[in-house]
Structure formats: C-alpha cells, structure tokens
Chains A and B, each alone.
Chain A
Amino acid sequence: MAHSYSGGELFNEVSLRLAPGSFHFLTGPSGSGKTTFLKLCYGALVPSSGVVRIFDDDVRQMSRDDIALARRRVGVVHQDCQFLDHLSLQENLALPLTVSGHEALDDYANLKELMGWVGLTSRADALPPELSGGERQRAALARALIMSPDVILADEPTGNVDWEMSQRLLTLLIELNRMGKTIMIATHDLGLIRAAKNHVQARVLRISERRLQLAGADL
C-alpha cells in the first residue's frame, strides 16, 4: 500500500504482513511515518492506495462498527496516550471494557493486577493530567492490554520512562509475545531493541526512503 497526506507521500509500495505471534520493531527518523503506519494498521487511517487488511478484512470494506469491533482485538498504546481527563486513571484503564459492555468481575480483577504490574496501584484515583509522563505511558500500556488483545501496537511505549521501567515494560511485552500475542513496537530507542533481541526473535523494520526495510545486524 501507499499513503500520503496533503503534505506529500510518506510511503509507496510498502508491503508487510504481521504474522500471528510475531514480534516487530518499527524504527525510523522522527517524521518518517511510524505513527502513521500504526494508524493504518488499526484502521484509524485508510491508505491512499493499495489494501490494508485487519484480521483478513479489507479496511475499505469494513463498516464503522466492524472497525470498532476490530479495535477491541488490537491493543494500541498511543504516542500521546489519549485519556479522558475527567475520569480517574482506573476508569480510564477500564474504558475499553466499559465501551464493549464487559461487566464481568474477573475483568476488573484483571485490571487490579495490571495496575500492579505497571506500578500504578497507588495512583488509581488520580486524574490523567495529574500523572507524570512516564505514569501516563505505563497507563496507556495497561489500557492497551486490558481486553487481552490478540495484537498489540505500541507507539513509543518507553519514550518517557527510565531505563529500569522501560526494561520492565519490555519484559511484559516479551512475556505477552510468548503467550502468543502479535506485537509491534514503534521506537527510536535502539537500546531497547538491542535489549529485546537477547530474549526474543524480533524483526526490526526501518522506514526509509518511503519504504520499509529490514534493518541489518548492526543493531
């Protein structure tokens, strides 16, 4: 597929299949289109030409409800986090459950566990604007995981956290990958990629010259 904004073409002739259970890193200079690529992957954008399929369905053929349902199977960690500022952190993390009508208690037990995992239990009742950048990022990851999605797309999930926390988040993502989840992380943190390569079979893709290229062994 190819995609261009009014400003100009970002990709042409990009072709990629995220195999179930695979682990991908997506790198590239700032402004190269990493976030755009992820948006294409979860149906927030429709490509200018070519085809994007989500779970085998062509995005162009999907109704708005189809896209909503597909998003419940894709956990997205947004670069700018995207919370509802008037709801508490806990309510924000539960939002995917709420909007999909999950009332089951174990989902909420799951929530408590996740909050513990990302170290936010004590901040449960805080409002998002009161959180630090790193806390928001951990919260965004927790929200992406709450529905036990098949696929996790993470945009700079470790951009604002210290090394130790970024290692913990990475370990969590690797753990999820071992459980069979498909994972793609957009990042320009090469240290993170190197650390991951010791534990998981990951492919590293780089956006350059409007194409996706497999990054070499120099990482």
Chain B
Amino acid sequence: MSALRSVIDFAIGDAQAEKAVPPTGFTVRLTVFSAAAMAFLVVFALALSLAAGRLADRWSDELARSATVRISAPVEQMAAQTEAALNVLRTTEGVESARALTLEEQRELLAPWFGPELPLDALPLPQMIEVIETASGFDGDGLRLRLAGEVPGAVLDNHARWRGPLVSAASSLRLLGWVSIILIAFATGAMITLAANAALAANAQVIAVMRLVGARDSYIAQAFMRRFTLRALAGAAAGTVFGALALLLLPSASEEGGFLTGLGLQGAHWLLLILIPILAAVVAFLATRLAAHNTLRSLT
C-alpha cells in the first residue's frame, strides 16, 4: 500500500522540484523519441511472440492427434477392410487408439468443400480412420508396409509429421520475441541513462545551487527522475498506440495467408500492451535514479 502511495506521490509529484531544474531540451526529446520507437518495436516483438506461441500450440495439438488411414474399396469390401485395418492398427506399436469416423463426422469434414447438402450415400466415399499416436509415435514406413500387405485399399496419411520442425521453429520464434523485448528494455535503459547523464552534466551549476541552499540528493534526483520517467511513459504510450494501430492494419488471420497473417494480437492479449508504457516508465525510473545518484555522489 505504501509502495502504491509513493508511486502516486511521485507521479503527482513535487512539481516545484522539477521546476528547479531548467528544461533539458534535447535530452528530454531524445527520451520521448527513443521510448516511443522502442515501444513500437516491443508491440511487434510481443505480437510475434504471442502469434508464434499460438501457432506452436495449434500445430503441436494437431500433431498429437492427427494421422489418418484412408480406405478406398468397393462398397461390399469396405466394412471388412475397415475392420482389418483397425486390427492392424490396434496391434501396431506406437498407436494409442484408432477409430473409424462415422458418416456424420465425414460429412462435417467435407462440408467446407462441398457444402452441407452433400448426398454422401450416393457417393463412393473412402472410409477415414483416425489414428492417435502415443507420445513416442509409430514407425510410419513399417505401418505402411503392413497395411499394404493386409489391407490393399488402405493409405496411411501421417503428413502432419513434417510439421514437427515447424513447431520447434515456432517455439524458437516465440523465444526470440521475448529475448528481443528484454534487449529492447535494456537498450532503452542505456539510452535513458545517457540522456539523464547528459542532463545532469548540463545542470551541474543548478545542482550546485540546490545543494547550497540545503536540498538533499534525493530531492534533486527526484526532479530528474520524475522528468525522465514521465517523458518515457508518454513516449512509450504514443509508440504503443502507433504499434497497435499498425497491428490493426495487418491482414487478419486466414488459412490461405498461413503464418504471415494472424500476427495481430487476440482477445485479452491486447491488454498486455498496457504493460509496455509501464515497463518503459520503470526502466526510465531505475536508469535515471542510478545516473542521478552516481552523479550527485561525486559533487560536494
């Protein structure tokens, strides 16, 4: 509670203290600009991270469940071949379960391509068998050979497998996004430290006068901290808004676009953007505080 109180005190602040330090011109503009640019970048790094995360999750979900066996056979053999295929699958190592899809389920799968009115009974549809692998998975080539021997009409389709490397790529991309955010935070801190040091050096005389009339270091430091923190907050807020607008202008998620679409944020993730200006303010606060206390300690 008292922490919150002191944050509020700081934000409302001692405008007098800040006034005692003359406008610091370019250092403050530099802070606003770099905070805005960095926030803009963080919006994208965040969107990239979250989108890559979503992709990795979805793909690995699909991976977990999807391998299919398709049986194309004359109608009178269909039931027998299906039963034979299921038998083969049940005795295959690495298959957790196998289940023939019902007519209803097959209709649903086809609806996107042929519409819901599809007269399934009239069409010689292949029978689909959904295969769920165990964590270790099955030997695709071995299974294919066995099926070829015992169920002539069966085709094993485990194409989802090749997504394995993609999933790990998406996971790395997510990690990369987070690492970028951390690097940007440090770069922002470094830039604000430079700006604050420049401001402190430019105001050595002002600091000396304030010391002479009895100002404590913490009071003087606060004048600088408040200024840089509020400017970083404002700059980062503007940068975040621009970044968010840019995200809104990106095409939304679609199947055809694959990975490149759907880079935007979804649902509650938009709320994460609020954290960006706050993070910038915290970084500015800490950087300026360190710079101010280091400078002040070296003065009489």
Residues of A within 8 A of B (CB): 44-45, 64-65, 68-69, 71-72, 76, 78, 82-87, 91, 95-96, 98-100, 143, 147
Contact = CB atoms under 8 A, between A and B. Distances in A.
Contact of B209 (A45, A65, A84, A91): A84
Contacts of A72: 214
Contacts of A100: 214-215
A30 B74 CA distance: 119
B213 A99 contact: yes
Interface string B1-31: 0000000000000001101101100000000
A147 B214 CA distance: 10
A91 B19 CA distance: 10
Interface of B: 16-17, 19-20, 22-23, 206, 208-219, 296-297, 300
Contact of A82 (B17, B22, B209, B216): B209
B300 A99 contact: no
A65 B214 contact: no
Contact of A84 (B20, B23, B300): B20
A65 B296 CA distance: 12
Nearest to A74: B214
Quick one: which of A69, A71, A76, A84 has the most chain B CB within 10 A? A84
Contacts of B213: 71, 95-96, 99, 143
Nearest to A45: B300
Given A83-B209, A87-B19, A98-B20, A68 B214 contact: yes
Contacts of A99: 17, 20, 210, 213-216, 219
A71 B16 CA distance: 20
A84 B211 CA distance: 12
Contact of A65 (B17, B208, B212, B217): B217
A68 B20 contact: no
Contacts of B206: 84
Q: Report which residue of B209, B211, B217 has the largest number of chain A beta carbons within 10 angstroms of its beta carbon.
A: B209
Contacts of B212: 44, 71, 76, 78, 82
Nearest to A73: B214
Nearest to B218: A65
A127 to B, nearest CB: 11
Rank and list the top 4 A-B pairs by shortest CB-CB distance, nearest first.
Answer: A99-B215, A72-B214, A71-B214, A86-B22
B22 A84 contact: yes
A164 to B, nearest CB: 28
Given A68-B216, A147-B214, 9 more contacts: A64-B296, A68-B215, A71-B212, A85-B22, A86-B22, A95-B209, A96-B214, A98-B16, A99-B214
A208 B231 CA distance: 54
A64 B209 contact: no
A212 B215 CA distance: 31
B10 to A, nearest CB: 15
Contact of B20 (A44, A76, A82, A87): A87
A85 B20 CA distance: 10
A92 to B, nearest CB: 9
Contacts of A91: 19
Contacts of A64: 216-217, 296-297
19 contacts: A44-B212, A44-B300, A45-B300, A64-B217, A68-B215, A69-B214, A71-B213, A82-B208, A82-B209, A82-B212, A83-B209, A84-B209, A87-B19, A91-B19, A95-B209, A96-B213, A99-B17, A99-B210, A100-B215
A64 B210 CA distance: 13
A95 B210 contact: yes
Contacts of B214: 68-69, 71-72, 96, 99-100, 147
A64 B221 CA distance: 13
Most B-side CB within 10 Å, residue of A68, A71, A82, A91? A68
B67 to A, nearest CB: 72
A91 B20 CA distance: 9
A44 B299 CA distance: 10
A65 B210 contact: no
Contacts of A98: 16-17, 20
A82 B212 CA distance: 9
A68 B218 CA distance: 11
Contacts of A84: 20, 22, 206, 209-210
A83 to B, nearest CB: 7
